[in-house]
Amino acid sequence: MTGRKFTYMSDDGNKLSKIDRMLVSDNFMSKWPNAGLKPYPRVYSDHCPLMLCTESENFGPIPFRFFNRWLEDRRLVEIVTLVMGESLDKPTADLDLSERLRRMKIKIKEWRQVERETEEKVYSEALEMVNILELIAEDRNLSEEEKELRMLNKKVLNKWGDDKVKDLVQKSNAKWIKFGDDNTAYYHGLLKCYNAANRIKGLYIDGEWSKDPVLVKGEIFKFFKDKFKEPLGSRPKIDPNSTIHR
């Protein structure tokens, strides 16, 4: 809910409460993951009318996120090795490291973009092949070659599903061994709730409620810039040529 802290107020104004619940289905949240509640002024009731709104604001590209599953791919190691082996002309070691991390992020994003397109293509082809073979099996017995082909494509689908589960587990911050089963619906639902609860729909800026993405992002940037600004005039420098003696 945005725009108000409470939805109920007694006639004398001494009692306040927040009742901001609305029942929706998983399919609804899949279609409108950014849906929220908008309160309207009280007129005849001591409760605010609430409207379920599906409008969404464009806050720009999604921030880069690294998934642990990628560590199992040797191509990630190749990217890291390549970037760390590059020769950079930086005056200090901390600037050198910062530039290497920036380049590494760019190369990983490029690699994942190509990899994602390939994975989706392989998945679609495997799904289509399995569907064709199963339709054939309804009219006649599959040959040994067809059975083997079906099993190979089923393995592709299972691998794709396992990878998605690993990403969902990391996104949902839940433990598979404690809560999970072979159905990923739990993680989908948990992730939707997590995203909805943590989404910033607007902020009070100079006493005025604003939903403008540019203003909201600017206010958040200003807040954290003030929090993390350098408290010291000078800091110890990193000497890349130094050695540690024990």
Range with the poorest average pLDDT among 84-98, 110-124, 156-170, 223-237 = 223-237
Q: How confident is the model at residue 235, as a pLDDT?
A: 67
37-67 pLDDT, tens digit each: 888 877 667 788 888 887 666 666 777 888 8
Please determine, for residue 77, whether its predicted confidence score (pLDDT) is greater than 60: yes
**Average pLDDT value for the chain:** 79
Which pTM was predicted?
0.52
Q: How confident is the model at residue 112, as a pLDDT?
A: 92
Q: How confident is the model at residue 32, as a pLDDT?
A: 76
12 band by pLDDT with thresholds 50, 70 and 90: confident
Strands 203-205 and 16-17: unpaired
Residue 143 corresponds to which tokens in the numbers above?
Answer: 């040959």
**E strands, 89-205, where?**
203-205
Please determine, for residue 184, whether its predicted confidence score (pLDDT) is greater than 70: no
Per-residue 3-state assignment (H helix, E strand, C coil) for 110-138: HHHHHHHHHHHHHHHHHHHHHHHHHHHHC
Helical ranges in the chain per DSSP H: 26-31, 74-84, 93-137, 144-172, 176-179, 185-198, 213-227
217-246 pLDDT, tens digit each: 888 888 888 888 777 667 667 666 665 554
